[in-house]
Structure 1
Amino acid sequence: MRRLVILTGAGISAESGIPTFRDPGGVWEKYDLEQVATPEGFRRNPDLVHEFYNARRRDLLRVEPNAAHLALAELERSWPGEFLLVTQNVDDLHERAGSRRVIHIHGELLKVRCEVCGRVFRETGKIFTRTPCPFCGKPGGLRPHVVWFGETPFHLEEVYEALIRCELFVAIGTSGTVYPAAGFVEVARRAGAHCVELNLKPAENAHLFHEHRYGPATRVVPEWVREVLEESLSGSGKAL
Structure 2
Amino acid sequence: MEEQLIPPETLTSFHNFITSPNCKTILALVGAGLSSASGLPTFRGSGGYWRHYNSIDLATPDAFERDPGLVWQFYSYRRHMALMAQPNAGHQTLAQLSHNDKINFLTITQNVDGLSQRANHDSRKLIELHGSLFCLKCTNFTCSYSDPANFKDPLTDSLDASSLVHDKGNTEDLPFLSDDKLPHCPACETGLLRPGVVWFGESLPWVSVDKTDEFIMRNHVDLILVVGTSGVAWPAASYVDIVKNQGGKVAVFNIERDDTDTESWQFIGDCSKILPVALDPLIDQVNVRSEVQ
User: Which TM class, normalised by the smaller chain length?
Assistant: 0.7 to 0.9
Contact 1:92 1:108 in 2 (8 A): yes
What is aligned with 1:109?
Answer: 133
What is aligned with 1:42?
Answer: 64
What is aligned with 2:103?
Answer: 81
Partners of 2:85 and 2:119 in 1: CA distance = 12
CA 1:134 to 1:119, structure 2 compared with 1: closer, same or farther past 3 Å? same
Partners of 1:202 and 1:153 in 2: CA distance = 29
Contact 1:4 1:168 in 2 (8 A): yes
List gaps (5 residues or longer) in structure 2.
1-22, 160-178, 288-293
List gaps (5 residues or longer) in structure 1.
234-240
**Identity of paired residues, percent?**
33
What is aligned with 2:224?
Answer: 169
Partners of 1:177 and 1:21 in 2: CA distance = 18
Using the size of structure 2 for normalisation, the TM-score is 0.71
- What's the CA shift for 1:105? 0.6
CA 1:28 to 1:210, structure 2 compared with 1: closer, same or farther past 3 Å? farther
Partners of 1:20 and 1:203 in 2: CA distance = 20
Pairing 1:149–2:173 present: no
- What's the CA shift for 1:200? 1.4
Partners of 2:277 and 2:213 in 1: CA distance = 28
- Which structure has more relative contact order (CA 8 Å, sep 6+)? It is 2
Using the size of structure 1 for normalisation, the TM-score is 0.86
Deviates further, 175-184 or 193-202: 175-184
What is aligned with 1:138?
Answer: 190
Contact 1:169 1:193 in 2 (8 A): yes
Name the amino acid aligned to 1:89.
N
Pairing 1:224–2:278 present: yes
What is aligned with 1:215?
Answer: 269
What is aligned with 1:55?
Answer: 77
Q: Structure 1, residues 143-179: CA drift from partner, whole Å, max 9, x if none? A: 1100011111221121122223222111100033542
Partners of 2:43 and 2:232 in 1: CA distance = 12
Name the amino acid aligned to 1:91.
D
Pairing 1:20–2:72 present: no
CA 1:139 to 1:208, structure 2 compared with 1: closer, same or farther past 3 Å? farther
RMSD across aligned positions (CA): 2.5
Deviates further, 145-154 or 162-171: 162-171
Return the match for 2:146 from 120, 127, 130: 120
Partners of 2:51 and 2:185 in 1: CA distance = 33
- What's the CA shift for 1:230? 6.1
- Answer with 1 or 2: which has the greater Rg: 2
CA 1:149 to 1:29, structure 2 compared with 1: closer, same or farther past 3 Å? farther
Return the match for 1:193 from 248, 258, 264: 248
Partners of 2:126 and 2:99 in 1: CA distance = 13
